[in-house]
Structure 1
């Protein structure tokens, strides 16, 4: 028998980003409705999911045609206002007011012909920018899409938890909501028309995905455009142009932004020093790190005062 030394399991970029940013579903809501209704919600810094367990309704997002959500469909909503409506001719009321206050997580309008659930994904400190800046404002995963099988299974489990109303249900539902978000992001990334999915589409691209995985597996490497282009198997010029077009920022700007995002999250958690963090994310001097940090965030790095 031949034994080999264990090694660190490579982290994929999506897991890496969600973990570093402290992403989790912090609030879950439910709506049961019948008849004619419309609810408007404002744009805020968050990622939100809406999923239909029964019935159907419209999703209205500025700049996009109305989207019909039916049972089993899921959508992800970024930094945009949106309206949920049974009837496109209805004037919406303030939907946020229905859920305003502690414990106000379920709303009922007339009946239960349509049952939907929602969840708000929040991020640690101000680190949401890294992900939200690269995601489309609205993404939909129809029940008929290739990546919807896992989503259907998770929605069935969530629906079952709601119906059973048993002890431990809050914990189970919270974990299932986290899984639902990841599965919806996976399905969006693997859908047709990836070129419109920015960073998610780039992750699923055979060549750009290799470069992104390399960055996230070892962000402290002295990356150059030439090295990353070699990982992707492309010429330097073609790689730089395609990466910038798809991801929304040039390759080395992406590396720098991710390094500083990791650093800020580490300093917020505490238990480390500025010099240690600078070295871990690839800076050869603390002064260079401090200068880059100040340029990115408008203030110098400092360690957390948490106990």
Structure 2
């Protein structure tokens, strides 16, 4: 059997480059009249196994959640409750005996599975800035079909407790989050998606895939227009309208994001990274890097090494 590398695209690049991982997996069962306030540090991703409840994010209105629905909350307080307006108890108190499993109230009117998603690197802002406060992915929404199977597998792993169950749950949570992003991409208005909106336009998506497939290449407008199958003028206007910046600028910025990742993670010299990225001199590389990151490559590497994960 021949196993080929999976195709790499813009969304995969951003997720990989941001150090995306599942930080933990939790289960909550609740019943009666109840309300819990969560104060997440990272991004929270959860799904309703059975029953229903209400989600109220900070500064937002209450949203009903039913079995099979999933939701994402990006680093801000939120309340889950049996009905809106009830006084909320700090969830940290409820999870004090076990950080991964808790029961609250009377009965099991609702059960939720999920946890926190962590991003190790600053590249995550390239994605998180595009998410609304608390997007809800409805069961049956376009792009959400695999979520039911993943949720069933998640619940089965949790309930059966077989060897490796915790690792399996964390990996399933990662897959559910990716499916949630895909569903959000399929259903959200294009003007709210930023650069992700380009993935919904076949011509622009072709250019984005080319940029991410060859990030070290100094892309020119005619080359990218050819990838999209459009004239230079039509492509430049279409790309800017969809992505929010000119195509060559996007390519140059992504090239520097790749450079930053290599400086953070590798042991190569700055000169070696510059050479790999196709620059003819260290000074040209340094100037391009400073325009995007505000620091020289050497200072950026030193600063990143001072940060303790």
* Alpha-carbon contact 1:37-1:92 (below 8 Å) kept: yes
- Which position in structure 1 is the counterpart of 2:78? 82
Task: List gaps (5 residues or longer) in structure 2.
Answer: none
* Alpha-carbon contact 1:47-1:122 (below 8 Å) kept: yes
SS of the residue corresponding to residue 26 of structure 2 reads strand
Partners of 1:282 and 1:80 in 2: CA distance: 41
Partners of 2:67 and 2:225 in 1: CA distance: 43
- Which position in structure 1 is the counterpart of 2:261? 265
SS of the residue corresponding to residue 138 of structure 1 reads coil
Partners of 2:238 and 2:57 in 1: CA distance: 28
Partners of 1:41 and 1:199 in 2: CA distance: 30
1:25-104 correspondence runs (5 A): 25-42=22-39, 44=41, 46-62=42-58, 64-96=60-92, 98-99=94-95, 104=99
**1:174, CA displacement in angstroms?**
1.5
- Which position in structure 2 is the counterpart of 1:184? 180
**Match of residue 201, structure 1, among 183, 192, 197:** 197
SS of the residue corresponding to residue 297 of structure 2 reads coil
Partners of 1:183 and 1:87 in 2: CA distance: 28
**Match of residue 227, structure 1, among 214, 219, 223:** 223
**1:265, CA displacement in angstroms?**
1.9
Greater shift, 56-65 or 13-22, is seen at 56-65
**1:72, CA displacement in angstroms?**
0.8
Say whether 1:108 aligns with 2:103.
yes
**1:239, CA displacement in angstroms?**
4.0
Say whether 1:173 aligns with 2:169.
yes
Greater shift, 117-126 or 276-285, is seen at 276-285
* Alpha-carbon contact 1:141-1:184 (below 8 Å) kept: yes
User: Deviation digits for residues 251-276 of structure 1, max 9, x if unmatched?
Assistant: 33432332222222222222322122
* Alpha-carbon contact 2:207-2:224 (below 8 Å) kept: yes
Cα 1:154–1:257 change in 2 (3 A) is same
* Alpha-carbon contact 1:130-1:258 (below 8 Å) kept: no
RMSD: 3.0
Cα 1:94–1:280 change in 2 (3 A) is farther
SS of the residue corresponding to residue 131 of structure 2 reads coil
Partners of 2:150 and 2:89 in 1: CA distance: 31
Partners of 1:52 and 1:106 in 2: CA distance: 15
Partners of 1:18 and 1:26 in 2: CA distance: 15
Say whether 1:211 aligns with 2:207.
yes
Partners of 1:257 and 1:109 in 2: CA distance: 48
**1:9, CA displacement in angstroms?**
6.1
SS of the residue corresponding to residue 187 of structure 2 reads coil
Partners of 1:250 and 1:88 in 2: CA distance: 45
SS of the residue corresponding to residue 167 of structure 1 reads coil
Task: List gaps (5 residues or longer) in structure 1.
Answer: 1-5
TM-score (norm 1): 0.83
Say whether 1:12 aligns with 2:6.
no
Task: Give the aligned length.
Answer: 299
* Alpha-carbon contact 2:46-2:114 (below 8 Å) kept: yes
Cα 1:144–1:7 change in 2 (3 A) is closer
Cα 1:269–1:194 change in 2 (3 A) is same
